[in-house]
Structure 1
């Protein structure tokens, strides 16, 4: 296979949703893993990115592509340039565009944001933590445009399949004190990540050189979720194994939420956005590509 429309570098969790959608849309693809194992029923190519290596040989087995999707994080300075340079060296006629999957975590911990009036609404143009290694690598990649078409999709909390937020409550709220400090959570389903990738692939001119922030256009409240689910775990899911269909609420979290509501003067859930440290606004992506999130309100 010398050419595909989409090449997935690092076929992990996202690829389980993406490959299915690529097949539905008759988009040719290839995918890589570190060991060349099967993924979603398809044989992958063996490839491992080494940001410290200038050896082009691992890239020679990769087919040329219209779009190259980088699913793994790049932390090392110069890593993005190394990857694209070695790609060009081994695919001299390629006009490939590059999508890097990132995280909305780059908007965490930036002290310049703390002085803003709450609620802190952040969008893709908001200042981010410039000291974040991942953000620096993304900036490097975006800086290659327009010579090399590039874009970054920064994703909020990923869920779908057996990965469900109800199973995270015990980990993030093992005590009342821990739960008291939990505010907002932003999510996006794997299906919508896949739809977003294909939308960018199909209209890269609208994305080139830009960083995008992706959520399902909702702000969830950890107290609300903990109250509804308690400290459930996969073992407490329905007999069918569907974590979105609980067999019952377990754990002390609902009682803790009631106590915290009384102590904080909160009359009902979810809490007002003004009580949160941040709220993410991802409307611009969905408006630009004329899409709407399909998996919202934690629907199955």
Structure 2
């Protein structure tokens, strides 16, 4: 697509900039350390990663987004889909998010500072700077309604059972236990921004 555009628009092509929105999912492989950043290993066989690498080789920029939220996309509404059993709750470790407003700001900053920050041919990771513990979120969302006498959600009850079983004394769990922790400070520092919508 990029090659075709450049070939058919040779007069303007040198000034065209390409940005692809990707996912931090490409980093969900066995890593050497707990902390993962934009320079960490990623799944080079992933179809998205292959396309991203090709775009970068042609001077494009890639922005790998953590879980997108905002508006209708509320993480609390994902619970019924991702944690329907105690075993699913047991397997939940870290969660990384970024709000749509901050994604929009990031996109504008990339194009505004393309030359200064050498965006061409680069990959960036974008999160809100938080590493969320799924168990903490389940407990925080224990109350589904507004009645004083209602029971906590089953996910919350399972978390407390698991804390007892696994010797977890308090939440959130430590970073090593959470496993994969994303570090996206590089983007915010390079482009002179800080997240507006950090914490859910």
TM score, norm. by length of structure 2: 0.91
1:197-217 Cα shifts (integer Å, max 9, x gaps): 000010112111110000001
- The answer on 1:86 being equivalent to 2:8 is no
With CA pairs under 8 Å and 6+ residues apart, which has the higher RCO, 1 or 2? Answer: 2
- The answer on 1:176 being equivalent to 2:90 is no
Higher strand share: 1
Q: How far apart in 1 are the matches of 2:90 and 2:130?
A: 21
In the other structure, the counterpart of 2:108 is 198
Q: Is the contact between residue 186 and residue 220 of structure 1 (CA under 8 Å) also seen in structure 2?
A: yes
- The answer on 1:222 being equivalent to 2:134 is yes
- Coordinate RMSD, CA, aligned: 1.8
Q: Deviation of residue 90 (structure 1)?
A: 3.5
Matched ranges for 1:68-217 at <5 A:
83-94=1-12, 95-108=15-28, 110-111=29-30, 113=31, 116-117=32-33, 120-145=34-59, 150-205=60-115, 206=117, 207-217=119-129
1:18-70 Cα shifts (integer Å, max 9, x gaps): xxxxxxxxxxxxxxxxxxxxxxxxxxxxxxxxxxxxxxxxxxxxxxxxxxxxx
Change (3 A) 1:163 1:250: farther
> Structure 1 residue runs of 4+, over 6 Å off?
none
Q: How far apart in 1 are the matches of 2:151 and 2:27?
A: 33
Higher helix share: 2
1:225-253 Cα shifts (integer Å, max 9, x gaps): 11111485xxx69xxxxxxxxxx886311
Which of residues 173, 179, 185 is equivalent to 1:271? 173
Which of residues 146, 157, 160 is equivalent to 1:255? 157
Q: When the two structures are aligned, how many residues end up with a matched partner?
A: 193
Q: How far apart in 2 are the matches of 1:269 and 1:250?
A: 17
Q: How far apart in 2 are the matches of 1:160 and 1:90?
A: 38
Q: Which runs of no fewer than 5 residues in structure 1 stay unpaired?
A: 1-82, 238-247
Q: Deviation of residue 224 (structure 1)?
A: 0.5
